[in-house]
């Protein structure tokens, strides 16, 4: 099979071949291969439920592809609620003519990413649309997870809480921009795309008093901090020099006039923890390769309710506002 044809979405022999030879091969589990109209699941605790659609361009980028992104993105949304990822659905919208090898690469990436959290794809759907109807492939994933730690919420920040970032920011947005614009830059910059559940599970197991978690996707760090400040009606004060930004990301931001704190991430999360647990939380996070540069970036106060204040090393301060407009369309 060289490419996906309309017949692969027709419900007949070609559809069955695609499902059995590709999707069942990489996603096989006892629930999925029953091939029922709906998956029957057993969940014993309070659950979290989320859904997301992925339309990144290009579909393969340095550090990942749309398949890895679709699994990490949904698993991370569950993790940010303190939920152990259990079951996912996956729906594919594929443009006629997409290379079968490219589709296989995407599915393989999804299978590898699932293994990091132990989650399973238990149901799905495939649609093939005529050439020109969409750009190569779109993927929707929905996920269910069991809540392992309750009361993690955007409205739970308290005065004195410590704000942390799991790593440097802006990598995913900068990587997509560099590849999309065809920038001929000698750089090892790659997306931070990563499944975050192992690190969150580590925090929960150590009884860290986590008040809020959020993966800094579209809108980046700026969006997360402003959403928290408004939802909890508190002030978040950030030390600008404490926010990790790689030299490559800085260079791209300077070239295009972007703010690194506004750029999307796909494997970076922000934490608000009780001050007494801050040092312990850093120790836990730094055990994971994707959090080895975790750092404290600020604190919660009551100085300017519902505002984020950015303090520079030069002794000046300014409000860090929500990003405006669409910096980069189709980044995830």
Q: Are 131 and 189 in the same domain?
A: no
Q: Which residues have C-beta within 8 Å of that of residue 201, sequence separation ≥ 6?
A: 79, 84, 148
User: Does some domain include residue 328?
Assistant: no
Give the model's pLDDT for residue 182. Answer: 78
This prediction has a pTM of: 0.96
Give the mean model confidence (pLDDT) for residues 177-199: 87
- pLDDT exceeds cutoff 70 at 317: yes
Q: Are 168 and 313 in the same domain?
A: yes
Q: Are 130 and 168 in the same domain?
A: no
Confidence of residue 186 (pLDDT cuts 50, 70, 90): low
H helices present in the chain, as ranges: 13-18, 24-27, 66-79, 100-117, 171-180, 197-205, 220-232, 247-256, 278-285
Which CATH number belongs to the domain containing residue 22 in this structure?
3.30.1330.10
- Whole domain around residue 111: which residue ranges? 6-147
pLDDT, the chain, mean: 95
Question: Of 90, 114, 147, which marks where a domain is finished?
Answer: 147
Number of domains in the chain: 2
Q: Are 56 and 169 in the same domain?
A: no
SS3 9: helix
Q: Are 254 and 126 in the same domain?
A: no
Q: Are 136 and 199 in the same domain?
A: no
Token pair for 309: 């204040």
User: Does some domain include residue 329?
Assistant: no
Distance CA 24, CA 110 (A): 12
> Look-up: residue for tokens 């300077």?
254
Q: What percent of the chain has pLDDT over 70?
A: 99
Confidence of residue 227 (pLDDT cuts 50, 70, 90): very high
Q: 219: closest CA among 173, 157, 250?
A: 173
- 212 contacts 157 by C-beta, under 8 angstroms: yes
Q: Are 174 and 55 in the same domain?
A: no
DSSP state letters, 29-54: -TTGGG--SS------S-EEEEEEEE
Distance CA 218, CA 264 (A): 5
User: Does some domain include residue 27?
Assistant: yes
Question: Of 147, 179, 203, which marks where a domain is finished?
Answer: 147
User: Does some domain include residue 24?
Assistant: yes
What digits encode the pLDDT tens for the residues 119-131? 999 999 999 999 9
Q: Are 261 and 312 in the same domain?
A: yes
């Amino acid at each position: 099979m060289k490419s996906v044809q309309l017949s692969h979405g027709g419900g007949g022999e070609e559809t069955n071949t695609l499902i059995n030879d590709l999707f069942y091969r990489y996603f096989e589990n006892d629930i999925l291969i029953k091939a029922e109209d709906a998956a029957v699941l057993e969940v014993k605790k309070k659950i979290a439920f989320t859904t997301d659609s992925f339309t990144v361009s290009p579909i393969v980028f340095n550090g990942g592809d749309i398949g890895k992104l679709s699994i990490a993105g949904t698993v991370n949304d569950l993790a940010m609620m303190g939920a152990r990822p259990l079951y996912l659905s996956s729906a594919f919208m594929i443009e006629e003519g997409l290379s079968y090898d490219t589709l296989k690469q995407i599915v393989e990436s999804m299978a590898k990413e699932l293994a990091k959290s132990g989650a399973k794809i238990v149901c799905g759907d495939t649609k093939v649309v005529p050439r020109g109807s969409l750009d190569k492939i779109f993927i929707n994933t929905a996920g269910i997870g069991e809540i392992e730690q309750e009361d993690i919420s955007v409205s739970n920040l308290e005065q004195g809480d410590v704000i942390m970032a799991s790593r440097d920011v802006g990598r995913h947005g900068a990587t997509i921009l560099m590849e999309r614009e065809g920038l001929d830059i000698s750089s090892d910059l790659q997306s931070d795309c990563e499944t975050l559940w192992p690190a969150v599970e580590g925090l929960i197991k150590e009884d860290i008093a986590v008040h809020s978690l959020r993966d800094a996707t579209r809108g980046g760090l700026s969006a997360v901090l402003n959403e928290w400040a408004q939802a909890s009606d508190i002030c978040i004060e950030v030390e600008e020099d404490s926010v990790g930004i790689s030299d490559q990301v800085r260079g791209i931001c300077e070239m295009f006039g972007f703010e690194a704190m506004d750029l999307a991430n796909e494997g970076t999360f922000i934490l608000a923890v009780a001050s007494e647990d801050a040092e312990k939380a850093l120790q836990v996070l730094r055990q994971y390769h994707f959090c080895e540069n975790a750092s404290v970036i600020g604190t919660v106060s009551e100085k300017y309710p519902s505002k984020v204040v950015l303090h520079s090393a030069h002794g000046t301060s300014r409000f860090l506002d929500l990003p405006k407009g669409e910096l980069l369309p189709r980044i995830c």
